[in-house]
Amino acid sequence: MAVSSLVQCHVGWCGLTLQRWQMNCQNRTLAAWTSATAQWTYKQNRHAEQLRMSKVRPSILWRAGPLGRRALHTSFASSQEVMLTSERYGVQRLPFSHVSDSDLAFFERIIPGGVITDPEELKPFNVDWLQSVRGSSKLLLRPQTTAEVSEILRYSNERNLAVNPQGGNTGLVGGSVPVFDEIILSTALMNQVISFDSVSGILVCQAGCILENLNRYLEELDFIMPLDLGAKGSCHIGGNVATNAGGLRLLRYGSLRGTVLGLEVVLANGSVLNCLASLRKDNTGYDLKQLFIGSEGTLGVITAVCILCPRKPMAVNLAFLGCQSFSQILETFTTCKRMLGEILSAYEFMDDRCMKLVVSHLKLSNPVTESPFFILIETSGSNSTHDQEKLNNFLECVMASGLVTDGTVATDDKKIKTLWALRERITEALTYDGYVFKYDISLPVEKLYDLVIDTRVRLGRSAKNVVGYGHLGDGNLHLNITAESYSHSLLDAIEPFVYEWTAKYSGSISAEHGLGFKKKHYIQYSKPWEAVLLMQQFKAMLDPKGILNPYKTLPSSS
């Protein structure tokens, strides 16, 4: 059992290094460290009980069912119907054509069996994972090849039918579901690996491959995907690229703008743009593929991806630490970068309110003593002895100096996953807390948590919880506000306050989630009007009729 193994590992590892700790640490910090170990043994039993209990209530699964993540959505949708986006936000439908019987007949000829019109089957594809926006599409298409996507778009463009490309539908800004009756073009059946070269580490695959499946495939070949995120069990690599997903490994392996080497994209008029070169370097003309990375399906449909994959690290270590203040988190980060250097692969933080949510809603156990903040540090390297020595030295240093007051470490895969869950499943825990207002902000790291404090003060009791967590190593804060239900007045209290605050410190109002439907009107807080104008010109050039993912990403140019 995962939790029990984690305890054993933790104790074992501490045992190995205890001698060094005793030599170097102050008694105060050492006591905190060892008491955390003892605490685990108690929690192990409590957690086993909680796990049994948790089976009673429906749990959220990040696994793909036979039809995407339908099981999850259906269970949600049956309990409470999500308000239509068009009604909640008062959006006007653009003058696209409506799908006719002859359209259906055409699509059926192109992709026999891949045309879904059953309203019940369509339900989960019309609602986002957060249950915050809902469209009313009457048609889901599931092509298997690029040629089929090309035919679908060519026809749709001619007929002026709007199309909503959809990957795993795990987006958080309402970008992946229709606003009205757009045709949903799912990449779910485009899930084949095309090639992998084990000398260069270059993977070419179809856009609908699920991130976790790709990672599993690569791990058997001693490689990994250069990105990792909580939704990995459902999200598609095509969607990851279309939204320029960041996630947990960006600190180490960089953004998709560097690791994506090639793309195959079908444009709005159905023409296929093949920029799928499997080369580390290619400076022949403008790098067109970059325009599609992060364009959220508004400029073209990504059908295949070529990506550079790093070797699977031979040693991974995780440290989960308690910290008394945000300034100590920052100082620990500077120390960490200096002492762990090239093996540092993640530096995540969460506040105590996040911890309370994952403990109360998901029945996870907090492995360290209560603290205002928690840090999760991951190292990935090629030599376990060297890595553990570096990590030991670092931990001794931050404990001795009082920067960190408690902590636990894991080296075994299973236990690492259990610790990672505390951070990765915050998003899920929040959905159990009520309606969630989500903000994904880039800021200079020194200012990162001030926004959480100021928002908390501003909202007072009108919010249920105001929590902050995120990828501190990338200057990326996830600010989340929960309430019993959606409320216009609460939204008005949050926006544009959060955006103005962010703009004041030259931050970005969307670090990694994109703009989708919910944030598109706030782009000017992070981009000058000349830039927005240029984006609108690109959109008009590549998709003159605006059929691709309408109502998303950019404010309308009129």
Interface of this chain with a copy of itself, residues 293 to 322, rule: CB under 8 A: 293-295, 299, 311, 313-314
Shortest distance in whole angstroms from residue 98 CB to a copy of itself: 30
Shortest distance in whole angstroms from residue 557 CB to a copy of itself: 13
* CA dist., res. 315 & res. 76, Å (int): 40
Q: Which is nearer to a copy of itself, 16 or 314 (CB)?
A: 314
For residues 500 to 539, the per-residue mask of contacts with a copy of itself, x marking binding by CB under 8 A and - elsewhere, is ------xxxxxxxxxx---x---x--xxx-xxx-xx-xx-
* CA dist., res. 373 & res. 354, Å (int): 9
The one-letter amino acid at 19: Q
In the range 241-280, which residues lie near a copy of itself by CB under 8 A? 243-244, 246, 250, 254-255, 257-259, 271-275, 277-280
By CB under 8 A, residue 284 contacts a copy of itself: yes
Helix (H) or strand (E) holding 193: strand 193-197
Binder among 80, 199, 488, 489 for a copy of itself (CB under 8 A): 199
Shortest distance in whole angstroms from residue 484 CB to a copy of itself: 30
Shortest distance in whole angstroms from residue 333 CB to a copy of itself: 8
By CB under 8 A, residue 286 contacts a copy of itself: yes
Q: How many residues interact with a copy of itself (rule CB under 8 A)?
A: 89
Shortest distance in whole angstroms from residue 55 CB to a copy of itself: 37
Shortest distance in whole angstroms from residue 265 CB to a copy of itself: 10
Give buried/exposed letters for 441-479 (b at 16+ CB in 10 A, else e).
bbbebebbbebbeebbeebeeebebbbbbbbbbbbbbbb
Shortest distance in whole angstroms from residue 140 CB to a copy of itself: 27
Shortest distance in whole angstroms from residue 383 CB to a copy of itself: 6
The torsion angles phi and psi of 547, rounded to 5 degrees, stand at: -80, -20
* CA dist., res. 72 & res. 59, Å (int): 9
Under DSSP, the state recorded for 182 is P
Neighbours of 23 (CB within 10 A): 8
In the range 328-367, which residues lie near a copy of itself by CB under 8 A? 330, 333-334, 337-343
The one-letter amino acid at 177: V
Under DSSP, the state recorded for 134 is B
Work out the burial of residue 90: count CB atoms within 10 Å of its CB; fewer than 13 is exposed, 13-18 middle, 19 or more buried: exposed
Binder among 380, 411, 465, 482 for a copy of itself (CB under 8 A): 380
Stretch that binds a copy of itself, among 79-87, 117-125, 187-195, 285-293 (CB under 8 A): 285-293
Q: Which is nearer to a copy of itself, 41 or 334 (CB)?
A: 334
Binder among 45, 192, 195, 200 for a copy of itself (CB under 8 A): 200
* CA dist., res. 214 & res. 224, Å (int): 8
Shortest distance in whole angstroms from residue 86 CB to a copy of itself: 23
* CA dist., res. 235 & res. 328, Å (int): 34
Q: Which is nearer to a copy of itself, 85 or 298 (CB)?
A: 298
Q: Which is nearer to a copy of itself, 312 or 456 (CB)?
A: 312
Q: 208, 168 in Cβ contact below 8 A? A: no
By CB under 8 A, residue 106 contacts a copy of itself: no
Shortest distance in whole angstroms from residue 405 CB to a copy of itself: 22
By CB under 8 A, residue 221 contacts a copy of itself: no
Q: 97, 158 in Cβ contact below 8 A? A: no
For residues 438 to 457, the per-residue mask of contacts with a copy of itself, x marking binding by CB under 8 A and - elsewhere, is ----xxxxx-----------
Sheet strands side by side (includes 301-308): 193-197, 202-206, 301-308, 260-266, 272-275
Binder among 30, 221, 291, 421 for a copy of itself (CB under 8 A): 291
Q: Which is nearer to a copy of itself, 53 or 314 (CB)?
A: 314
Stretch that binds a copy of itself, among 358-366, 386-394, 397-405, 407-415 (CB under 8 A): 386-394
Q: Which is nearer to a copy of itself, 2 or 315 (CB)?
A: 315
Work out the burial of residue 522: count CB atoms within 10 Å of its CB; fewer than 13 is exposed, 13-18 middle, 19 or more buried: buried
Q: Read out DSSP for 214-268? A: HHHHHHTTTB--S---GGGGT-BHHHHHHTT---SSHHHH--HHHHEEEEEEE-T
Using alpha carbons only, give the angle 237, 242, 248 rounded to the nearest 5 degrees.
60
* CA dist., res. 511 & res. 443, Å (int): 9
Q: Which of 214, 235, 248 is nearest to 168 (CA)?
A: 235
In the range 537-556, which residues lie near a copy of itself by CB under 8 A? 537-538, 541, 553-554
Shortest distance in whole angstroms from residue 531 CB to a copy of itself: 6
Binder among 390, 423, 425, 478 for a copy of itself (CB under 8 A): 390
In the range 468-497, which residues lie near a copy of itself by CB under 8 A? 471, 474-476
* CA dist., res. 392 & res. 381, Å (int): 14
Q: Which of 358, 352, 357, 353 is nearest to 370 (CA)?
A: 352
Q: Which is nearer to a copy of itself, 151 or 433 (CB)?
A: 151
Shortest distance in whole angstroms from residue 291 CB to a copy of itself: 6
Q: Which is nearer to a copy of itself, 191 or 380 (CB)?
A: 380
Helix (H) or strand (E) holding 192: none
Three-state DSSP class for 83? Answer: coil
Q: Which is nearer to a copy of itself, 58 or 258 (CB)?
A: 258
In the range 56-75, which residues lie near a copy of itself by CB under 8 A? none
Q: Which is nearer to a copy of itself, 145 or 369 (CB)?
A: 145
Binder among 287, 413, 492, 500 for a copy of itself (CB under 8 A): 287
Neighbours of 60 (CB within 10 A): 16
By CB under 8 A, residue 388 contacts a copy of itself: no
Measured on CA atoms in the order 254, 257, 258, 261, is the torsion positive or negative? positive
